[in-house]
Amino acid sequence: MKQRILHYWFAVGLMAAVPVHGAFAAGSAEEGKAKFYACGGCHAVAGYSNAFPTYPVPRIGGQHADASIAALDDYKSGNRKHGSMEGNANGLSEQDAEDIAAYVSSQRNGSSGGPVSGSASSGKTKAETCAACHGADGNSPAGNVPVLAGQLQGYLVKALKDYKTGKRNNPIMNGMAAPLSEQDIIDVAAHYASQAKGLVTISD
């Protein structure tokens, strides 16, 4: 039954892989580096955690620019909830967001997401359905689909649990996460976190 549900959402994911509002304009990485200062208070600190609930602040260095802009748009619209992120996103102009996203996307090829719990090898098998959009190793080929490779396991676990419970709203991801057990979530997160080439903590 679980496999049947996953295959269903795999098909839905393929149909919804096209950006809703087209490609974003290119920003300036140089300008974005200067505008990143507010983001750096959390995202440029290795090992930094969200206070409550407690979970690792995600790595965003190397994230696709389109995916970063889409995330900022979601915080602006209230589709994603996080006090400081909503406040910071609402203070950005469209050009600011494009510039920051360009800078963020220019940071690539870091180390893995650190030690993991669970089984990364089991997670690779369980993540086969995810690969259609996110890529086999989490380095998604489509700019509008977030890179997962090298992301911190704790953050991925939090995100999948939020999708599973509906706390975070995305019709495709809600359906993909719904049939996952607690161990499935840990293992899938371990698989992506253990990838050596992917997201980084921005440190400069």
10-residue mean pLDDT profile of the chain (204 residues): values are 40 37 70 96 94 94 97 95 96 97 89 88 97 96 96 97 95 97 98 94 83
Q: What is the pLDDT of residue 204?
A: 62
Residue among 141, 117, 119 at smallest CA distance from 131: 141
Residue 25's pLDDT is what?
53
What pTM does this model have?
A: 0.86
pLDDT value for 10: 36
Q: What is the pLDDT at residue 27? A: 97
pLDDT at 1: 38
State the pLDDT at residue 23: 47
